[in-house]
Structures are given as C-alpha cells and as structure tokens.
Amino acid sequence: MKDRRQFLKTAGTLLAGTPLVGRATLFEGEPVPETKIIKPPALKPGDTVAISSPAGAVWDSGNVEKFTGIIESLGFKVKHGQTLKEKTGYFAGNDELRAKELNTFFADAEVKAIFSQKGGWGCARLLEKLDYETIRKNPKVIMGFSDITSLLVAIYSKTGLVTFHGPVGNSGWNDFSVDYIKRVLMKKEAVTYAYPDKDEDKPYLLNPGKAKGTLIGGNLAVLAGIMGSKYLPDWKNKILFLEEVEEEPYSVDRMLTQLRLAGVLKNISGFVFGKCAKCLAEEPFKAFTLKEVLEQHIKPLKIPAFYGAMIGHIENKYTIPVGVKAEIDADKFEIKLLEAAVS
C-alpha cells in the first residue's frame, strides 16, 4: 500500500493556561483563529463506528468485509459509507461525495467514530469542502494514516479536535496495533509508547535528551504537500512525528528541506521519525543513506530526536493522538502522553 501526498506552513503563539491551537500566520489572508482543544468521547462496546474511504477507491470488497469483522470483534456496530463502493478514477467517488460523507458522519449522532478503509491520495482535495463548524460541535474519533494525514492535521488545526494517526482497514490489525487502539481510544490511558524489544530493526538516536510539546505529524509527503495552506497549526513547541514509504533518501531530503525553509523545523521542540518502509536509494553508491539525511537536517536543531518509532506503513503500529501534550525521551526511544487523548 502506498498512501499519501499533499500540503503545509506555519507561525503563531501557544497561549498559557487552557490548551489552544495556535494562531497560524498564512502567506496571505487572515490568521487562523485560536481554538480550544476538544477531546472526543472515549469509545465503548456498542458504539457505532463508520467506515469511510475519503481518498482512494476500494477495489477489493473483501477487504471491507474483513475490516468490518475486525471492528465488530471489538464490540462495535458498523455503518458503511457509500465511498466503499464508489469509483471515480483512482478516488472513492468524486470530491463532493467524499467530503459530504465525512460531514454527514460527523453530524450523525449515532456515529461515535470514523475509521478509514484505506489511504491512497485525495484527502487534501476535501479540505475546503469540510464543515468545520459541524465537526467542532460534534466531536468524535477520526483515525487513519498516510494520506489521511491531511484530514487529521486540518481538522485539529481548524477545530481543536484531537485526531488519531492509526491503522486503516487495509493495514495491520494485529494484537500489537489493536492493543494501542484499545488503550488510547477506549481505556483513556496516557500511554507510554515504549519500543518493543522483539523488533529487530532498532531505533537510531539523532539527538539525546527529553522534550515536551504537543504531538502533531503524519506522512511527510502529505504534510509537505499542504505547505503554505491555511490548514496547519503554529509549530511552536510541537513534537513533530513523521513517517514515509517508498521514497528514496533524496526525496526525503527534499521534503525535509521544504519544512526547514517554511520555518517548521526551527520551531519544534522534539522530533520523531517513524519507519520509512522501502526507502532505499536506487543507486546507493551515488546517494546518502536515510540516516545521513536525517542527521543533516535534525542534528543541527539540537533538539531531542530519534528515528525508528513504530509509526508508518508497517504491521505493528502505534495509535498516536494529534493534538495532546506529550514528552519524548530520545535516549529511551519513548513517547509518553502527558494526558488522555479522549474524554
């Protein structure tokens, strides 16, 4: 699965006291208004979860059936979106249909969460069509990763609603991944994301130390793609987490340079790069390695940072909230939530 792509930019202030989404200065137009953080209600057995495909078309209906069974096994009821059956080119229906489905699910009092069937490309095309006032008034869990990044970040930035970077229907729902979903979304735990000892691909320390801040991030290409838009937060005192798939080191270099030139990297307090699946140079003898690229961009920042967290296009993945306070301990390769992500 190769999910992602599109948009970013920033500036502003983080107010003391009640957590706020900062006032982001745009290239043009008015600043984004400051908004109080909103935590969605925790999920419980018997709740209805809507499955939507806000980006790519679903070509195998068997994947929907499988995902439905997984959600039902967790004790939830399921409501299917029309996008699971629609095909418009590589999209799950046209932009209007996909945006309307999300708006409808947020307005539907019966629906307590919206899970994505898959990523692909297309979510950024919906950002201008979402009803952010309805979303703000009807807070609920929305979860996905890869291309869903643009929805997660835009909804958080425009409404203050905490969103969730976690599995989609087409990705792994094994015991590791489901455990974090239960702990974060149902049990209201302020989770410490410790690196599993059994994983052979050990993390790599970029800069030592601890840092506190608000978690925000997702797919690097998607964030780079919405650079300069009005759908991004102030990056001051944020812990930025990123992941990628099938990008050569030079491409990661280009996108990180874009974040640096936009002023993102100089404002964050901590940095975590998850997994970069299949991110190898086609001609390695002519290229930097991914670690070398990360060192070039992140080491000079002198902020706590590490590479290799269980985030990304991998089977075992964390469910990471976008918009809550956290602390990273780079030496231990840990991310610790300082508050529950749901109410």
* Per-domain residue ranges of the chain: 20-337
Nearest CA to 31 among 189, 233, 276? Answer: 233
**Euclidean distance between CA atoms 147 and 302, whole angstroms:** 30
14-48 per-residue burial string, b: 16 or more CB within 10 A, e: under 16:
beeeebbbbbbbbeeeeebebbebbbbebbeeebb
Residue 80 is among the residues annotated as catalytic for this protein: no
Residue 165 is among the residues annotated as catalytic for this protein: no
Residue 229 is among the residues annotated as catalytic for this protein: no
pTM of the model: 0.90
Cα distances from 15 to residues 36, 97, 280, in angstroms, run 10, 37, 41
Lookup: tokens for 20: 């706020």
Look up tokens 């029309």; give the residue: 82
User: Which CATH number applies to 20-337?
Assistant: 3.40.50.10740
Cβ neighbours of residue 66 closer than 8 Å, sequence gap 6 or more: 169
Lookup: tokens for 82: 């029309």
Choosing from 146, 157, 171, 229, the catalytic residue is: 146
**Euclidean distance between CA atoms 260 and 256, whole angstroms:** 6
What is the residue type of 248? E
Evaluate whether 63 touches 129 at the Cβ level (below 8 Å). Answer: no
Choosing from 244, 313, 327, 334, the catalytic residue is: 313
Query: Per-residue pLDDT for the chain (343 aa), expressed as one digit of tens each?
Result: 444 433 333 333 333 334 455 444 333 333 444 568 999 999 999 999 999 999 999 999 999 999 999 999 999 999 999 999 999 999 999 999 999 999 999 999 999 999 999 999 999 999 999 999 999 999 999 999 999 999 999 999 999 999 999 999 999 899 999 999 999 999 999 999 998 877 667 899 999 999 999 999 999 999 999 999 999 999 999 999 999 999 999 999 999 999 999 999 999 999 999 988 888 888 888 889 999 999 999 999 999 999 999 999 999 999 999 999 999 999 999 999 999 999 9
Nearest CA to 260 among 10, 4, 6, 7? Answer: 10
